Structure 1
Amino acid sequence: MEKLANNSVKGFTQIPTYTYFLFLFFFMLWSASAQQTALEDGKKYILGGIEVTGLQSYNEQTVKTYTGLRIGQPITVPGEEISSVIKKLWGLELFTNVEMYQTRIEGDKIFLELNILERPTLTNVTVYGVKKKKVEDIINDTDLKKGKKITESLIANTKSYLENKYRKQGFLNAKATIATKKDTVGVNSESMVINIKKGDKVKISEIAFEGNEKLTDKRLRKALKKTKQKKFYRFWKKSKYINDDYREDLASLVDAYAEKGYRDARVLSDTFIKVDENNIKLKIEVEEGNRYYFGDINFVGNSVYTDRQLAQVLGIKKGNVYNGVLLKKRIADDSKPDGEDITNLYQNNGYLFSNINPVEVSAVNDTIDFEIRIIEGKETFLDHVQVVGNDKTNDHVIFRELRTRPGQKYSKDNIVRTIRELGQLGFFDAEQIAPDIQNPNPNEGTVDIQYSLVEAGSSQIELQGGYGGGGFIGTLGLSFNNFSLQNIFNGEAYKPVPMGDGQTFALRLQASQAFRVYSLNFAEPWLGGKKPVRFNLSFSRTQQFATNFNERRQIEADKSRGFSITGVSAGLAKRVQWPDDFFTISHALGYQRYEFNDFSNLGLFNFGNGTSNSFTYTLGISRSSQGPNRIFPLSGSNFEITAKFTPPYSLISGKDFGAITDELDVLNNQILTLGNQQAPSLEDQAEITRLQGQVELLEEERFKWLEYYKVNFRGDWYTRIVDKLVLRTNAEFGFLGNYNNDIGNVPFERFFVGGDGLGNFQLDGREIIQLRGYENQSVTPLAANGTPAGGVIYNKFSMELRYPLTLKPSASIYALTFLEGGNAFSNFNEFNPFQLKRSAGAGLRIFMPAFGLLGIDFGYGFDSDLRPNSIGPSGWQTHFIIGQQF
């Protein structure tokens, strides 16, 4: 054979070259034709049977079903049916080998054998190199579930996913190795072992630029928002390298040039240089190009707004340095849903289908002329407005807050406002309120809106016990913020109480050996159901008993002596349209009755028996635009001015309170003289008692009807710094005045500054002002007996940086840092707004729907407080926050 082969080669090489290629071409053509003929000549049979071999875990009938072949069907062998079956079984990725054999032929019947090799089944996954709590997340993310078939693509995709996952987090050297081994637990089963080596995070040691002359390296590094080089002082923005962030930052680099007029600037190259295992250097080469200026800017296609109106919104004039980023924002600012741009100008006036496109029409030398081409489209109206997801809250409570109603013009601003209003209700998760624009019809000029809501817990329970004031204090509070009074007698509506009408019903009980407090509050936000008029009604009752400590330092209360306040108030608050519809004007009438029974140890007044009355009118003006989330506002502001008045009884009655004051001075001097004797006689002691009785009668007459006026201001502003990092700035001021200097300032309604800001059990109108870093009420003027008497004027300023850790419906958590300063004064003459008690610190807030707001603050007071013998800074103080405002 070898010889024949050699002769053949020798003879073949004597054939001319072109003849050789011609022969080869015809040979290939003949072979292809023969194969095609063989396929076409496949013989037709009737499938007599099919046997499946190689099975381990699958049922034979199941595999037969997968093939789609049926006994008795016509089949051509060889033919397309067999090829299709094999291809289909391969596509299932359940088998590593599929072969079809002919076993026998009986007449026109053919019998086939399908031999398969099953892929192994995954039984268990073990992950090394990560924390145990992260293992479940990895298994879920990669879908490595028990029973899954192990394929090459599964292993490769899992490996790729894990390495990319950690590289995105800055671990550029991350490696994942995956191995499988037989598992005796089941038939044809294997376990998988994943070993992850993240390595250290790769940091950027240097970012170098080439080709930049117009913008400095410092300015360009600043333009890289998420990609920073290592600096010892940088703690907020990390210097780890993340490729996706870096690619985004390269686009921001070009934008930095565009903002300065360099329209043609581009990144020529960027080089990744490995310094060592944990550090890299980035080298970026740029081409700056020439600086450009805006030329003529003409508007084309506008009929709704004039050129002058549009130019005013655009805010760019001929001769200004070219700024491509600014031009985009003035056309359509994607970063702000309520931005002042031309797109919003049209969309807020019903032109949903408008399209604004800036086009460069000429670029001569360094000047670029633009046409702002506008397609206004048809004026758009709302056809259907729907709300879904409200399982507890009644529809009318939601629809009355909507700023988008069927038949109205489409307005993007109204949609944004609706999201805020629904979020402020507190009944829904503000982070998940999603408006869905549906069925847009440019020809008809109509569109539908559907708001998707997720109910959030709106009721709160306060159940706590603690030790304070020398004894145990127990508190029970229930607050139902989506109450339904009209279903109060409907037994089926109790789940556990009638809900769904947006009303507020709150009950609070607090008691200890020394005091008892009862309060009840009801509020209807839409009195009558047609206008946003809020009605509020509240009742309160507090009793404070005389106390002393026994020889074992345990508190003992004498319930035969005490001080009680009974109060009732009713108010109306109406949302108004001017100056804008964020404003609310409120009116309230209140009455409180103070009753004293042998109780004069508060240090604020000198009568221990008798009664005092207070009838007040309160006028409030407020503006609240903070939102969209009431728990964690991202923007907006909230300010409130209130003025509280009592009638000027002394001016009306004409009574000479100066004579009463003079008589009190005489009596007090007599008491002081007699009391300063070294050994007062029994007659002197009796005289002191008699004089004190006269003082009490005069004091009771002086404060029979309290008269005062009280002015408060509070403002909060929320500024979004970056992402969800929010700066809250706050300013507060309060002043308590009187109509008649002979009467002086009332002993109630005062300002107590310092500490956590939580209210206490005394309902004497006092205001508890938070000033972290100081003990409770320690920045408060003192009475003659050394107890806090309260200030008649105070001011406070604070700044908080807030960042949310989670804003889920089950719990909203955010961290904060603060700077704070405030003080209280005994009279206006002492007031100095710059004489502040300063503090700084950090804290955490947790809001859970069932329990309200919980938190903790660590504050450092830099100054001494107002208590006697207070020297040096207040130092570190820990404050626990329960139920305070957000």
Structure 2
Amino acid sequence: MIRFILFIITSFLIAQAPPSFTLKEVNVEGNQATSDNMILYTSGLKNGQKASTEDFRRAVKRLWELGVFSNIDIHFDGETPDGILITIEVEESPVLGEVIFIGNKKLKDKKLKEELAYHRGMRIKPNFTTKNINQIKKLYMEDGYFNAKITAESIIVDKGEDQKNDIVFTINEGKKLKIKDIIISGHENNFGWAATKSWIPLPKSIRRKLSLSKLRWQLKDTKIRTWWRFWASAYDSKKFQEDLNSLNKYYRDEGYRDFTILSDTVFYEPKKRGLVVKINVDEGNKYKFRNFTWEGHSLYETDILDNTLNLQSGDTFSKSGFDEAVYQNVQSLYMDRGYLYSNIEPSFTPIGDDSLDVHFSITENNQVYIRNINIYGNEKTRENVIRRELDVFPGDLFRRTLLQRSMRKLHVLNYFDPTSLSPNVVPVDEDEIDLDISLSEKSSDKASANIGFTGIYGMTGGANIEFNNFLGMGQMLSLGFDVGTQVSVYNNYGTPGKYESVHLRFVDPMFRDTPNRIGFSLFYTFRGQGNSYYFYPFDMLTRGGSIQWGRRMKWPDDYFRSRWEFTIQQRVYMGDDDVLNDYVGNVRKTTGIQIAQILTRDSRDRAEFPTQGSTATLVSTFSGGALGGDENFHKHVLTLDWYTPTFWKFILTSQIKMGTIRMLNVGDGKFSYISPYERFIMGGNGIPYGTMLRGYPDNAIGPLTSQGRGIGGNTILKYTNEFRFPFSENPVVYAMLFAEAGGVWNDSRLMHSLGFPRRNPIELKRSAGIGIRFFMPMIGQLGFDMGYGFDDITGDGEPQGWEYTIIFGR
């Protein structure tokens, strides 16, 4: 409390008071740490000065603003012929020692100290505790604790010349309150599919509820807690503001261009024992486009601009759709011809209550050229590896589409954190710019376990070291040694493991910075038979090598790649003669000489978690025949993948895989053979080879022997759909719902001669389930799937049921 005591004491002095007084003497009392001179200088009062009552008020205000005093008095001490005597009496505020918090669990001391405005040694103003109690309450309310109680106590810890006090805040947090109701007042129109269809016979009250539900759905993180939505989180003020922006966006995308949120409040409702969120809105009118007009355009005719805009008279106004049409579609026309500084300014004219005329004023400006391209952040990757992926070059006319394509290529390399890749345009002058490309490298190398596990068959796989950016030169070097988990039944061959594999693989995707791909591989594999892991009742040893050459293509577009691989391998079969007769015709050793053409098209935007684009891969293999060797066949496998963004962050991934293998007719008297290991197998995790079909045991789909062993097929067909939701971009973590169906047969003809389907989706083995994937540095992909097989594969007439699969490194 500030007391200002003036010297108007006697009625005489009141009656005779002049407009100003001469200060004969100004004294200071009560100060201990603050000097007299400091107080006098700040007050502006001094001996011999003419002073008025306004000067006294101003003196008190100045002293108070120092923040040093808790009380200030000015006393009248008497009068002399030369003037009056006054005393400035002050009471100094204590110095702040420690701030102590008691009872806080949800908000830690560090968080509270960061948010409160104080520091040790400062003077404690009278409003210090009240101000900080309110700030602490605000922090708790933002976190959903609306019933938090906070008290403060000042404790003297040092009564010296500068009194020091500790402030103790005692906090009773209470319970975190859930949202019990969301009220949107001012909501007059209907929203959502069912509520807006007049031909659906619904009462008005039901339409209102459906509309309100649709609006509440736009609040992604602000949800009403109910027994069936038990996961709904508590109120979060920051997320609530984001949700208000989402609601605003929804209205504007539904045609309500003038929509406004008038107010929003959150309060505790004792009767509901929870929070009520109230949003007051003004929806405004719903608009449709009427006419579009243009001015300032010389490069393009009006018809071209109208077609590129792709908005029609009668279309409902959508803010995001309009912005995309103008700033993505139309402005791209200009930016792809170098008009980086082109500007399109739309103006809206409401016509009546429901129509908009839109006029576009275009300023084309000058064409802009790229002067320099600067790359920052590549500590390991050599600059030439980055530059060779760019479709823009110094001296080129700026083209936005080519810049976007270049960024996509850098994304797909998978050497860099996708959230860090950002081109920055730096103006040089009216005609030139510099491009600064900032990136942050991530580890793309893998030390992968490459292990699978199923509930029935146990562990499979091995270990590999894979350098995907070897020495920063963009080359791939892979070294691997894989081993199975069971012991061969043919121990006389000295084979201690059920599965052994060693390989060395090297690929340079752009040899000497040209669009040529070269590579080679050497491999040795032993696969032993067993009751669980592999279905053939004999052992096999494979050794060989391959070389490859490929090219990046420009036609049909530059998403295409092609390569050719030439492979020579020898296979040695070991086992009982009768068994070998049944499975491989008593063959003991074969030589396979084959050439494969791999044609791919990859337009994905990212490597690990694509959100759009597609991949297509066609692998055609020709073995034997004119090439020589004992294995004579041609094999063709087509795999198609699509990535489609749906709503929010959900991505729909679809895949079709189909393939066939046929024996070559090499003439009478000549040996012709297809190795069983070239045939198609399916089921389980598909590791270390084969095709995944979750919900079924490993390698269990397809033709079987009389003993129930799989023998592989020469035709494969599989459909997969996955609904993916990302949790993290770096490292990539996502969950999925999946549904898939597939089959393997011993007939390469999927159609009869009359054209009727031989197989249909009902005959495929179907499954569905859930899964999760992690992409970890130096490990690669880790995954866990739970799949339910809907079909019988054992002959007992019962569904296969649940199977779980763990995947490492695939």
Letter in 2 for 1:373: S
SS in 1 for 2:419: helix
Return the alpha-carbon distance in structure 2 between the equivalents of residues 853 and 305 of structure 1. 49
- Deviation track 1:133-187 (CA, whole Å, cap 9, x = no partner) reads x637735753799968696788677656665556556x37353625356497997
| Equivalent position to 1:505, from 453, 477, 482 | 477
Whether the 8 Å CA contact 1:206–1:230 is kept in 2: the answer is no
Measured after TM superposition, the shift of residue 237 of structure 1 is 8.1
In the TM superposition, residue 414 of structure 1 has moved relative to its aligned partner by 3.0
Distance 1:724 1:359 in 2: 33
1:329 matches 2:323? yes
Question: Does residue 751 of structure 1 match 2:680?
Answer: yes
More helix by share: 1
Q: CA deviation at 1:744?
A: 7.1
Q: Does structure 1 residue 128 correspond to structure 2 residue 104?
A: yes
Matched, 1:619 2:597: yes
Question: What residue number does 1:852 align with?
Answer: 780
2:81 is aligned to none
Q: 1:100, CA displacement in angstroms? A: 14
Contact preservation (8 Å) 1:181, 1:190: yes
Alpha-carbon distance in 2 for matches of 1:160, 1:500: 55
| Matched letter for residue 840 of structure 1 | A
**Distance in 2 between residues matched to 1:5 and 1:97, nearest whole Å:** 29
**Structure 1 728/77 Cα, relative in aligned 2: closer, same or farther at 3 Å?**
farther
| 2:611/2:644 contact within 8 Å kept | yes
Give distance in 2, aligned partners of 1:154 and 1:776. 70
Q: 1:247 aligns with which of 234, 244, 256?
A: 244
2:488 alignment partner in structure 1: none
- In the alignment, residue 676 of structure 2 is paired with which amino acid? P
CA gap of 1:327–1:627, structure 2 versus 1, over 3 A, is closer
Q: 1:578 aligns with which of 544, 555, 567?
A: 555
Question: So what's the TM-score if we normalise by structure 2?
Answer: 0.76
Aligned to 1:320: 314
| 1:311-366 CA distance string (max 9 Å, x none) | 1011234x424525366235445xxxxx4x21233223322211111223573786
Q: Which residue of 1 aligns with 2:388?
A: 400
Q: Equivalences for 1:100-179 in 2 at 5 Å?
A: 117=93, 119-122=95-98, 125-130=101-106, 135=108, 138-139=111-112, 142=115, 163-164=137-138, 167=141, 171=144, 173-175=146-148, 177=150, 179=152
CA shift, 1:283, in A, is 7.5
Partner of 2:765: 837
| Structure 1 stretches lacking a partner, 5+ long | 13-22, 44-50, 70-74, 102-112, 334-338, 484-498, 550-554, 654-703, 760-766
**Structure 1 residues 96 and 119 mapped into 2: Cα distance closer, same or farther (>3 Å)?**
farther
- For each residue in 1:828-872, what CA deviation from the matched residue of structure 2 results, as whole angstroms up to 9, or x when unmatched? 35751412212121122121111111121111111122x4x4541
**Residue deviations 1:18-56, cap 9 Å, x none?**
xxxxx9xxx78x33xx57xx69x999xxxxxxx99549x
Q: Kindly tell me: are residues 864 and 77 of structure 1, through their superposed partners in 2, closer, same or farther at Cα, counting changes over 3 Å?
A: farther
Is the 1:391–1:455 contact (alpha carbons within 8 Å) kept by the matching residues of 2?
A: yes
Compared with structure 1, are the counterparts of its residues 562 and 799 closer, same or farther at alpha carbon in structure 2 (3 Å cutoff)? closer
Q: Indicate the residue corresponding to 2:290 in structure 1.
A: 294
The structure with the larger Rg is 1
Contact kept, 8 Å, 2:652 with 2:724, in 1: the verdict is yes
| 2:452 and 2:806 in contact (8 A); partners too | no
2:454 is the alignment partner of 1:478: no
- The answer (yes or no) to whether the contact 2:287–2:353 under 8 Å persists in 1 is no
Which amino acid counterpart does residue 503 of structure 1 have in structure 2?
A: Q
CA RMSD of aligned residues (A): 4.9
Shift of 1:302: 0.9
SS at structure 1 position matched to 2:245: helix
Q: Aligned match of 1:719 in 629, 644, 649?
A: 644
Distance 1:801 1:464, change over 3 A: closer
Tell me the residue number matched to 1:200: 177
Q: Residue 712 of structure 1: SS of its match in structure 2? A: strand
Matched, 1:386 2:377: no
- What residue in structure 2 maps to residue 540 of structure 1? 523
Task: Spell out the pairing of 1:32-111 with structure 2 (5 A cutoff).
Answer: 53-54=32-33
Which position in structure 2 is the counterpart of 1:276? 272
Q: Distance in 2 between matches of 1:541 and 1:579?
A: 38
Report the counterpart of residue 20 of structure 1 in structure 2. none
Deviation string for 1:362-405 (max 9, x for gaps)?
Answer: 73786543321101111112222211111111111112122332
**In structure 2, what is the equivalent of residue 491 of structure 1?**
none
CA, structure 1 residues 806+543, in 2 after alignment: closer, same or farther (shift >3 Å)? Answer: same
**2:568–2:592 contact (8 Å) kept in structure 1:** yes
Pairwise CA distance, 1:535: 1.8
Instruction: Say if 1:364 and 1:519 are closer, same or farther in 2 by CA, change over 3 A.
Output: same
The match for 2:658 is 733
**CA–CA distance in 1 between the matches of 2:695 and 2:462?**
26
> Deviations along 1:784-838, whole A, 9 cap, x unmatched?
5532211211211122222222223xx3322222122212112235751412212
- SS in structure 2 of the partner of residue 508 of structure 1: strand
Distance 1:578 1:205, change over 3 A: same
Moved more, 512-521 or 616-625: 512-521
Equivalent-residue separation in structure 1 for 2:504 and 2:725 (angstroms) = 35
The residue that corresponds to 2:416 in the other structure is 428
CA distance in 2, matches of 1:796, 1:716: 12
Unaligned runs of 5+ in 2: 1-8, 50-56, 75-88, 197-206, 485-495, 751-757
1:248 partner SS: helix
Which of structures 1 and 2 has the larger relative contact order (alpha carbons within 8 angstroms, sep 6+)?
Answer: 2
Question: Could you say which residue in structure 2 is the equivalent of 1:878?
Answer: 804
Report the alpha carbon displacement of residue 627 of structure 1 after superposing the two structures with TM: 2.1
Distance 1:756 1:287 in 2: 53
C-alpha contact 1:458 1:849 (8 A) present in aligned 2: yes
TM-score using structure 1 length = 0.70
Once the two structures are TM-superposed, the CA of residue 271 in structure 1 deviates from its matched residue by 8.7
Letter in 2 for 1:298: T
Give the 3 Å change call, closer, same or farther, for CA 391–200 of structure 1 in structure 2: same
- 2:431 is matched by which residue type in structure 1? G
Written as runs of structure 1 = structure 2, the 5 A alignment for 1:638-787 is: 638-648=615-625, 705-740=630-665, 746-759=675-688, 767-787=689-709
Question: Separation in 1 of the partners of 2:72 and 2:443?
Answer: 61
Q: Distance in 2 between the 1:98 and 1:365 partners?
A: 63
Partner of 1:666: none
Counterpart residue number, 2:298: 303
Aligned partners of 1:203 and 1:240 also within 8 Å: no
Question: Deviation digits for residues 564-593 of structure 1, max 9, x if unmatched?
Answer: 111211222322122221111222111111
Q: Is 1:409 paired with 2:397?
A: yes
Contact 1:205–1:230 (CA under 8 A) maintained in structure 2: no
Q: Secondary structure at the match of 2:653?
A: strand
Q: Distance in 1 between matches of 2:739 and 2:639?
A: 17
Whole-angstrom distance in 2 between the partners of 1:855 and 1:78: 88
* CA-CA distance at 1:190 after TM superposition: 4.9
- Counterpart of 1:493 in structure 2 is none
Using the alignment, how far apart are the partners of 2:365 and 2:786 within structure 1? Answer: 57
Check the 8 A contact 1:254/1:266 in 2, yes or no. Answer: no
Aligned length: 723
| Contact 2:285/2:353 (8 A) holds in 1 | no
